[in-house]
Structure 1
Amino acid sequence: MSFDKSRSAGVLASEIARLYTAALQRRLAPLGLSPAQFLVLSELWSEDGQTQRMLTARLGVEQATMANTLGRMERDGQIERRPHPDDRRAQIVSLTEAARALEAQATAVAREANAVVLGGLPVAEQELFLSMLGRIVSALRAGEGVPPS
């Protein structure tokens, strides 16, 4: 019996993620943002002044990946880093005015990309689908010992 990719939760979730990322990237590019930068900004729009370690944990990415992303964002004038007042090894990552000015437009294009993903479902099923995805993510995190984000 062969493996049916159309019945694999992992394969389908991966395809959703790939297509969503491509849709998001197309919409963010005119703003000078990548999907990774958008995720960092969305965390900082929610709570500005986080450390790199906090951002890494909340977004579930590797430390080196976060360091590279933050380096590009600092170069592009989206964030500023300053020494942590209580920990000489840490830096506080803060939004610049330029990044704050992008929030409304960037979140609007992210909503558009999300609508593309959900567009194949009737409105009544969209909330159920999102609820189910959230439960799956929580169960996987718990099973892998990953803290909730």
Structure 2
Amino acid sequence: MTDDTFDRTRSAGYLANHMARLFAQRLHERIRPLGLAPAQFMTLLELWEEDGLTQRDLFERLDVEQATMANTLARMERDGLIERRAHATDARARTVHLTDRARDLRGPAQAAAREVNAMALGHLNGDDLDRFVSTMRSAVERLKAGEER
């Protein structure tokens, strides 16, 4: 006879989801004083790396729905974090650019994220941390690709 009980304490999916929610909560606590929400922070991470992306670039990179990205960008524009400009070669598209305010938030916001990472994973030595992050990255890539094994 097999035990069909679901043990959430041994479920990678359950634990990853729980961990992600806790990471988001702790990050939000630290970036709220900067006037940021987690979705804005994730968008800023992409724009700090490559300013001038399109809305399509952003929702594809962040794996969010187009409507969610549109709402996030509208809030960011309202909050003075981004400005949208006509695309140089595509009349239908607009590019998203950081404002000086958003560029100034990079250091403090990334420091807040490092604090949350240290809170959660600071007990791991370098090799264990590298393995953990590598395993997470692999799982993300496999899920994006739709692989089953």
Relative to the length of structure 1, the TM-score reads 0.92
Q: Is it true that 1:102 corresponds to 2:116 in the alignment?
A: no
Distance 1:116 1:127 in 2: 16
* Total equivalences in the alignment: 144
Aligned-residue identity in percent: 56
Match of 1:39 in 2: 42
**Which residue of the partner structure matches residue 93 of structure 1?**
96
- Which of structures 1 and 2 has the larger relative contact order (alpha carbons within 8 angstroms, sep 6+)? 1
Give the drift of 1:121.
Answer: 3.2
Alignment partner of 1:66 is 2:89: no
CA contact (8 A) 1:56 1:66 kept: yes
Match of 1:76 in 2: 79
Asked whether the 8 Å contact 1:43–1:55 carries over to 2, the reply is yes
* 1:24/1:35 contact within 8 Å kept: yes
CA distance in 2, matches of 1:11, 1:99: 34
> Does the aligned pair in 2 maintain the 1:16–1:117 contact within 8 Å?
no
Query: Distance between the aligned counterparts of 2:27 and 2:19, measured in 1?
Result: 12
Offset of 1:123 from its aligned partner? Answer: 4.2
User: 4+ runs of 1 displaced by more than 4 Å?
Assistant: none
> How big is each residue's C-alpha offset from its partner over 1:41-71, in whole Å with a ceiling of 9 and x where there is no partner?
1100000001000011011110000000000
Gap regions ≥5 residues in structure 2 = none
Is 1:48 aligned with 2:54?
Answer: no
Normalised TM-score (structure 2): 0.92
> How far apart in 1 are the matches of 2:107 and 2:51?
16
Larger Rg, first or second structure (1 or 2): 2
| 2:87 partner amino acid | H
- The alpha carbon displacement at 1:126 in A equals 1.3
| CA RMSD after TM alignment | 1.2
List gaps (5 residues or longer) in structure 1: 145-149
1:119 to 118, 122, 129: 122
CA contact (8 A) 1:80 1:94 kept: yes
Structure 1 contact 44–95 (Cα < 8 Å) conserved: yes
The 1-side partners of 2:146 and 2:96 are apart by 31
